[in-house]
Amino acid sequence: MLSAVQYLLGGVSGSLVGFTLGLVGGGGSILAVPFIVYLVGVTDPHVAIGTSAFAVAANAGANLLAHARRGTVKWSIAGPFAAAGVIGAMLGSSLGKAVDGQKLLAAFALLMLVVGVLMLRNRGGSETAAAQPVRHRSARVCAMGGLTGLLSGFFGIGGGFLIVPGLMYSARVPILYAVGSSLVAVTAFGLTTAVNYAWAGWVDWPLAFVFIGGGILGGLVGTQFAHGLAKRKGMLNLVFAGLVFVVAIYMLYRSGPALGKW
């Protein structure tokens, strides 16, 4: 049972996660899992993963509404991507439950570094231009959705930091549209993973709802910032990549013993 201070820290952590989701469409679970483990003090990484998956899915759903009202959600892309990803997330989350929690966090951090590098390489494109037609890319979108869902489920994450570059690559959409559209998949992947973990008893429901409350408030602010940064070429990519690098390095530092066992 967590203390009142831990629940308070959970609410603060949720607001920061919600802000990040609204800002870059991802980063929810890459922040939620470390916050729940290292700040709130949940000792079981699997419980942290299951709880964050549910909380981030709910926060992503709230942020999705904000982006949809601004017209930055491309449903024709997001729908097939998310549908294929749910299948991958079911398989990935089943595999992830069988892996040692600390090793899972360490592998997660290494993957984040790769994604950060890819985002920095893709800073040159427009961030606010209209998305291109994607009918002829539907197979590629679905394939990328399935792969992203698999990784999201395996690492127990909403997957936005994977989904955003995945949408940019497979559908050739600017980052602002990828951010908005990614929230459809983040919500779907997170719920799929959360259900799988909840079945095993690895979700702290009171902490999850406190986290969600803080996340809704933070998400409203993050969405406002996202549309401001999108007017400056390359800035949203830079913020996204910087966030990923900082958290990945910290997680690698904390996961040193797990890396040593490989």
pLDDT at 230 over 70: no
The confidence score (pLDDT) of residue 157 equals 65
Structure tokens at 134: 């994607």
pTM of the predicted structure, to 2 decimals: 0.70
Q: What CA–CA distance (Å, rounded) separates 259 from 125?
A: 36
Reported as a single tens digit per residue, the pLDDT across 204-219 is 999 999 999 998 888 8
- Domain span including residue 106: 4-260
CA 205 to chain centre: 19
Q: What CA–CA distance (Å, rounded) separates 23 from 220?
A: 9
Angle at 199 between CA 261 and CA 202, to 5 degrees: 45
| Ordered alpha helix ranges (H), 122-174 | 138-155, 160-171
Amino acid letter for position 47: V
How many domains does the chain fold into? 1
